[in-house]
Chain A
Amino acid sequence: MSLRSPLGRVLGFGSAHDGVRHWWLQRLTSIALVPLSVWFVVSLLALPSLGYATLVAWMSQSWTALLLILLVLSAAWHSQLGVRVVVEDYVHGPGARTLTLVLVGFAHVLLAAAGVFAVLKVAFGAPP
């Protein structure tokens, strides 16, 4: 039996005014991060060294670059969703909360963009 009112079911957003979007995206990004993060850790451990030449050669492989980009994007997204909940829990007062959430959002977009940019730059040929 559903406890939701017919109107609530039609609007579908509940008390958070956002429905299950946040919850669902957190799950999706977490599932994506399982293979991506495990791949990243295993790859780092398997590399013969973490020297510049080794890393550039590694990142110049198409699959490495592609997976690194997916890792950065899903990690930034998942991190933003998680940090957002922490802020909502502990930063009170509408002004401070909104400001913190905006800053957290900008910081994560910056991280995601910088990460993707860096991977592409190395993959397409970093300066010697």
Chain B
Amino acid sequence: MPTRPLSPHLSVYRMSRYTLATSIANRFTGLALSLGLLLLVYWLMALAGGARSYARATHLLALPIAKLVYAALIVAFCYHLVAGFRHLVWDTGHGLERAQSQRSAWLVVAASLVLMLVIACRAWLTGAHAP
């Protein structure tokens, strides 16, 4: 392993900055969604196994702790989706000035919060969703 400093230099970043917070949140929500993909495929495989296999899986999927997982996945999905748009805009070369990216950081947080609320309300309203 080389002894030269390797990126990312976690020890030299100013940890309180919005740039770091939004970036690391995007990474963490992405990783969470990778685990969500695992859950999605488990769910699909359970369905493919027939009614009995799905009933067995729903024992697990209807646990109270699973609700926490779904809530976390909704948060991760909303944030990663909105933050992804910010990255796509950056890729066109726009919005990279400090003031602009500071504004877009708040915009991402606000927009994803609104999206989370909309999804949570809808999921709450159709609470009969539990299989």
Contact = CB atoms under 8 A, between A and B. Distances in A.
A126 B37 contact: no
A49 B50 contact: no
Nearest to B123: A45
B114 to A, nearest CB: 14
Given A34-B81, A83-B31, A115-B41, A52 B131 contact: yes
Contacts of B21: none
B65 interface: no
A76 B44 CA distance: 14
Interface string A89-128: 1001110000000000000000100110111011000111
Interface string B93-131: 000000000000000000000000001001100101111
A122 B51 CA distance: 11
Contacts of A38: 81
A125 to B, nearest CB: 11
Contacts of B84: 30, 34
Interface in A78-92: 79, 82-83, 86, 89, 92
Given A79-B37, A115-B41, A89 B50 contact: no
A50 B119 contact: no
Given A45-B119, A45-B123, A111-B37, A52 B54 contact: yes
B47 A59 contact: yes
Contacts of B47: 52, 55-56, 59, 118, 122, 126
Given A79-B34, A114-B41, A115-B40, A45 B131 contact: no
A21 interface: no
Contacts of A9: none
Contacts of A86: 27, 31
Interface in B72-89: 77, 81, 84, 87-88
Interface of A: 27, 30-31, 34, 37-38, 41, 45, 47, 49-52, 55-56, 59, 68, 72, 75-76, 79, 82-83, 86, 89, 92-94, 111, 114-115, 117-119, 121-122, 126-128
